[in-house]
Amino acid sequence: MAQRVQGTEDLYGGYMRAWQRMQDVAREVFGTYGFDMIETPAIEQVATFVHGIGESTDVVRKEMFRVFSGALVENLLAKGSEQGLKAKQRLALRPEGTAGVVRAAVQNNMVPQGSAPAKLWYAGPMFRGERPQKGRLRQFHQVGVEWLGAPDPASDAECIIMLMRFFERLGFDPKSLRLCINSMGDAACRPAYRDKVRTFILDHAGEMCADCLERAELNPLRAFDCKNAHCREVMAEAPLAPDNLCDECDQHYEQVKRYLDEAGIRYEEDPTLVRGLDYYTRTVFEVEVVGSGVGAIGGGGRYDGLMELEGGKPTPGLGFAVGFERIVLALQAQGVDLGGKPEGCVYVACTPDVRPQVFGVALALRDAGLRVEADHQGRSLKSQFKQADKLGALVCVVLGTDEVAAGMATLRDMRTHEQVQVAQADLASTVAERMA
- Please, what is the minimum distance in Å from the beta carbon of residue 326 to ligand AMP? 4
140 binds ligand AMP (CB under 6 A): yes
Distance between CA atoms of residues 234 and 241, nearest Å: 16
Count of Cβ atoms closer than 10 Å to residue 272 Cβ = 16
Using the rule CB under 6 A, which residue among 220, 312, 316, 323 binds ligand AMP? 323
Reference 38, options 139, 106, 123; nearest CA is: 123
Over the Cα atoms of the chain, what is R_g? Answer: 28
DSSP string, 92-153: EE-SSSHHHHHHHHHHTT-S-TTPPPEEEEEEEEEE--PPPBTTB-SEEEEEEEEEES--SH
Can residue 299 be called a binding residue for ligand AMP (CB under 6 A)?
A: yes
Measured from the CB of residue 141, what is the shortest distance to ligand AMP in angstroms?
8
CB crowding 181-212: b at 16 or more within 10 Å, else e:
bbbbbbeebbeebbebbbebbeebeeebeeeb
Q: Which of 23, 40, 57, 142 binds ligand AMP (CB under 6 A)?
A: 142
3-state secondary structure of 281: strand
How many residues interact with ligand AMP (rule CB under 6 A)? 18
Q: Which is nearer to ligand AMP, 25 or 411 (CB)?
A: 25
Hey, how many other C-beta atoms are within 10 angstroms of the C-beta on 15? 16
The CB-of-281 to ligand AMP minimum distance in angstroms stands at 16
At its nearest, how many Å lie between ligand AMP and the CB of residue 333?
A: 14
185 binds ligand AMP (CB under 6 A): no
Q: Note whether 325 binds ligand AMP by CB under 6 A.
A: yes
Burial class (CB in 10 A: 0-12, 13-18, 19+), 393: buried
The pair phi, psi for residue 102, each rounded to 5°, is -70, -40
Which x/- pattern, by CB under 6 A, does the window 243-282 give for ligand AMP?
Answer: ---------------------------------x------
| CB-count exposure of residue 88 (10 Å: 0-12, 13-18, 19+) | exposed
Tell me the closest approach of the beta carbon of residue 355 to ligand AMP, in angstroms. Answer: 48
Q: Report the residue number, 66 or 390, with the smaller CB distance to ligand AMP.
A: 66
Shortest CB 203 distance to ligand AMP, Å: 30
| Binding region for ligand AMP (CB under 6 A) out of 243-251, 262-270, 322-330, 369-377 | 322-330
Report the SS3 class of residue 420.
strand
∠ CA 366-367-371 to the nearest 5 degrees?
20
The helix or strand, by DSSP H or E, that contains position 318, with its residue range, turns out to be: strand 317-323
Closer to ligand AMP by CB, 96 or 146: give it: 96
Interface mask toward ligand AMP for 16-55; x: CB under 6 A: ----------------------------------------
Q: Is 344 among the residues that bind ligand AMP (CB under 6 A)?
A: no
Compute the least distance from the CB of residue 124 to ligand AMP, in Å: 12
60 counts as binding ligand AMP under rule CB under 6 A: no
Cα gap 284→297, rounded to integer Å: 14
Q: Which is nearer to ligand AMP, 54 or 135 (CB)?
A: 135
Q: Can residue 76 be called a binding residue for ligand AMP (CB under 6 A)?
A: no
17, 190, 326, 412: which one binds ligand AMP (CB under 6 A): 326
Contact between 156 and ligand AMP per CB under 6 A: no
297 binds ligand AMP (CB under 6 A): yes
Q: Which amino acid is at 205?
A: A
Our finding on whether 96 is near ligand AMP (CB under 6 A) is yes
Cβ-Cβ contacts under 8 Å for 325 (sequence gap 6 or more): 9, 135, 137, 140, 141
Residue nearest to ligand AMP (CB): 323
| Half-sphere exposure of residue 34: CA atoms within 13 angstroms, side-chain side | 9
Residue type, 432: A
Residues near ligand AMP (CB under 6 A): 96, 128, 130, 135-137, 140, 142, 276, 296-299, 321-323, 325-326
